[in-house]
């Protein structure tokens, strides 16, 4: 039997030393982490729950871990918030939302159970459940599940029916959007409404894709308005690469409009949120000062079993990002609070020919911006986290306007996908890159956040060099800070 208390006792005995983990990318105290859950502001702090399996570095019966922060960068560990301890969630407490109501913090999550079918076989069933708490501990309500999949139209899958996003709308009612598919494989999100959070009715199939472009199941929906646009974020499984998106699980940002009467979202534009290897299942919040901040799981489901031997924590969150829409384009930048941790500013202006290192431009926990003023070359490459054996290369080819990450030598022990190429979208090529590195990650914000590429690395910590290299001539300015968290 799993309980929060049992999890916390296990954590107490097995907690991983902070020095063996990333500095500011949220990880578990020990064990496995996937999606961010319940990202919210409550009691004056940012709360971040997450899919959590304390007992191993692999996915298992899902708990909700819990942390809070004053600035999205330094996280404080709280007790385990949910454990799969009830008959309606015995197979796991899957992803969901936190929302404030009457001074309480209310969690909505997916309760997963196994059901015996008439023919004797077993089936996974997912329903939406609720727990109420004070910001530290939570009690599941006695009438769970609050949304039973049986209230959906018959063609909506009850096997893939998860990840409730709940919000209170301007009309005073509560809405819940959950990931879903039809039994014949059309990915969709379904909408429910309620006057009191406890009694829900089915409203609509809010959005779906019948073209086959956007995978087979939509997970982890988020929906909000920003800069005058209606936005739907989903995490589809099983997509095929098409120039904008890569193979496998992606995160899709739909910009669109809503038929308010029928509760139907129509998209006008679909953009990839992260063109790197590792970003999935994000959630967003609106901060008290009016920003839209997003955090995602910095991992790909296709490369999860690749930890270096002996590592006792698995997976981390991305750096939280501020979102904006400008000229119809999605812009993402690291939360501004990160700049508060910058130290040791170094600026280098150079005309690069051949291969070079610059004194002080190195390290693994850094925030660095590279301004490319002119690139007369076949390629311009930066080698990060480098020693004699290791490196992760970021290479730009002006002739094709392609940017490539190659993490082949980043310390993998499995034959993981290591090369990704993306086209710079703006038509004018690469002019700027902001590179945020923590011990186990590199996040690249291209051209002031018009594109982002995230990757996990498992490179030994003493690989600290950064080498700049070109076959022609590149005029550049580098501004580099250490991050001291
Ligand atoms: C997405 C996801 C969710 C689910 C959770 C389970 O990564 O598959 O749909 O709630 O992970 O851990």
Q: How far is the CA of 221 from the centre of ligand 1 (A)?
A: 11
* pTM over 0.85, yes/no: yes
Asked whether the predicted pLDDT for residue 116 surpasses 90, the reply is no
Asked whether the predicted pLDDT for residue 117 surpasses 90, the reply is no
Q: How far is the CA of 191 from the centre of ligand 1 (A)?
A: 18
CA nearest to 450, candidates 472, 432, 468: 432
In this prediction, residue 207 has a pLDDT band, given cuts at 50, 70 and 90, of very high
User: 342 or 1: which carries more pLDDT confidence?
Assistant: 342
- Report the share of the chain in percent with pLDDT over 70: 100
Asked whether the predicted pLDDT for residue 150 surpasses 90, the reply is yes
* Closest residue CA from atom 11 of ligand 1: 35
- Report the share of the chain in percent with pLDDT over 90: 96
Alpha-carbon distance 194 to 200, whole Å? 5
Kindly compute the dihedral angle of the four CA atoms of residues 471, 464, 416, 243, in this order, to the nearest 10 degrees: -50
Rounded average pLDDT over 289-309: 94
Pocket test for ligand 1, best of 220, 234, 278 (most atoms within 8 A of CB): 220
Rounded average pLDDT over 314-329: 96
Rg for the chain (alpha carbons), in Å?
22
Ranges of H-type helices in 15-130? none
Alpha-carbon distance 393 to 384, whole Å? 6
Q: Residue 305 has what pLDDT?
A: 80
Alpha-carbon distance 234 to 282, whole Å? 8
Asked whether the predicted pLDDT for residue 294 surpasses 90, the reply is yes
Q: Is there a contact between 296 and 281 (Cβ–Cβ < 8 Å)?
A: yes
Q: How far is the CA of 299 from the centre of ligand 1 (A)?
A: 12
Task: Please tell me whether residue 297 adopts helix, strand or coil conformation.
Answer: strand
Q: Residue 15 has what pLDDT?
A: 97
What H or E segment, with its residue span, contains residue 430? none
Phi, psi of 331, rounded to the nearest 5 degrees: -115, 130
Task: Please tell me whether residue 301 adopts helix, strand or coil conformation.
Answer: helix
Q: Residue 115 has what pLDDT?
A: 85
Asked whether the predicted pLDDT for residue 106 surpasses 90, the reply is yes
Alpha-carbon distance 406 to 394, whole Å? 7
Asked whether 160 lines ligand 1 (CB < 6 A), one says no
Alpha-carbon distance 18 to 77, whole Å? 12
Task: Please tell me whether residue 197 adopts helix, strand or coil conformation.
Answer: coil
Rounded average pLDDT over 52-60: 97
Asked whether the predicted pLDDT for residue 141 surpasses 90, the reply is yes
> Which atom of ligand 1 is nearest to 96's Cα?
10
Q: Residue 323 has what pLDDT?
A: 98
Q: Residue 118 has what pLDDT?
A: 86
Alpha-carbon distance 365 to 130, whole Å? 39
Alpha-carbon distance 373 to 477, whole Å? 8
Q: Token pair 């997003």 is at which residue?
A: 294
Q: Token pair 């330094």 is at which residue?
A: 74
Q: What is the mean pLDDT of the chain?
A: 97
In this prediction, residue 227 has a pLDDT band, given cuts at 50, 70 and 90, of confident
Joined tokens for residue 449 = 């956040």
| Contacts of residue 325, Cβ cutoff 8 Å, sequence gap at least 6 | 226, 227, 228, 229, 231, 255, 331
Structure confidence by residue, pLDDT tens digits, 416-454 = 999 999 999 999 999 999 999 999 999 999 999 999 999
Asked whether the predicted pLDDT for residue 306 surpasses 90, the reply is no
């Amino acid at each position: 039997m799993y309980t929060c208390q049992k999890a916390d006792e296990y954590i107490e005995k097995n907690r991983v030393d902070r020095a063996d983990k990333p500095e500011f990318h949220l990880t578990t105290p020990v064990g496995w982490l996937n999606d961010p859950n319940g990202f919210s502001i409550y009691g004056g702090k940012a709360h971040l729950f997450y899919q959590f399996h304390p007992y191993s570095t692999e996915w298992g019966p899902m708990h909700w871990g819990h942390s809070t922060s004053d600035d999205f960068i330094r996280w404080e560990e709280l007790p385990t918030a949910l454990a799969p301890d009830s008959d309606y969630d015995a197979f796991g407490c899957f992803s969901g939302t936190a929302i404030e109501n009457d001074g309480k913090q209310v969690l909505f999550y997916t309760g997963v159970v196994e059901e015996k079918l008439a023919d004797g076989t077993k089936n996974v069933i997912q329903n939406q459940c609720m727990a109420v708490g004070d910001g530290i501990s939570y009690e599941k309500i006695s009438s769970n599940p609050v949304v039973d999949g049986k209230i959906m139209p018959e063609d909506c899958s009850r096997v893939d029916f998860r990840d409730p996003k709940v919000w209170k709308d301007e009309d005073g009612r509560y809405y819940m959007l959950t990931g879903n598919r039809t039994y014949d494989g059309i990915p969709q999100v379904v909408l429910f409404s309620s006057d009191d959070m406890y009694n829900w009715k089915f409203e609509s199939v809010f959005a779906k894709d019948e073209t086959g472009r956007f995978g087979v199941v939509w997970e982890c929906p988020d929906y909000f308005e920003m800069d005058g646009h209606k936005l739907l974020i989903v995490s589809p499984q099983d997509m095929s690469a098409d120039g904008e998106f890569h193979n496998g699980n992606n995160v899709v940002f739909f910009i669109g409009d809503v038929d308010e009467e029928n509760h139907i979202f129509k998209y006008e534009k679909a953009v990839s949120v992260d063109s790197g290897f590792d970003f999935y299942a994000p959630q967003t919040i609106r901060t008290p000062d009016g920003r839209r901040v997003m955090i995602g799981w910095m991992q790909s489901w296709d490369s999860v079993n690749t930890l270096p031997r002996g590592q006792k924590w698995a997976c981390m969150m991305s750096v939280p990002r501020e979102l904006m829409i400008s000229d119809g384009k999605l812009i993402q930048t690291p939360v501004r609070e990160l700049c508060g941790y910058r130290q040791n500013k170094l600026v280098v202006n150079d005309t690069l020919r051949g291969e070079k290192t610059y004194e002080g431009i190195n390290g693994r926990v850094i925030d660095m911006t590279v301004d490319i003023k002119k690139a007369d070359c076949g390629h311009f490459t930066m080698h990060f986290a480098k020693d004699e054996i290791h490196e992760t290369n970021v290479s730009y080819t002006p002739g094709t306007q392609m940017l490539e990450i190659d993490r082949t030598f980043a310390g993998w022990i499995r034959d993981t996908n290591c090369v990704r190429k993306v086209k710079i979208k703006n038509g004018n090529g690469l002019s700027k890159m902001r590179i945020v590195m923590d011990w186990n990650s590199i996040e690249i914000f291209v051209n002031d956040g018009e594109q982002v590429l995230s990757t996990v690395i498992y490179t030994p910590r003493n690989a600290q060099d950064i080498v700049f290299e070109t076959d022609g001539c590149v005029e550049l300015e580098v501004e580099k800070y250490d991050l001291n968290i």
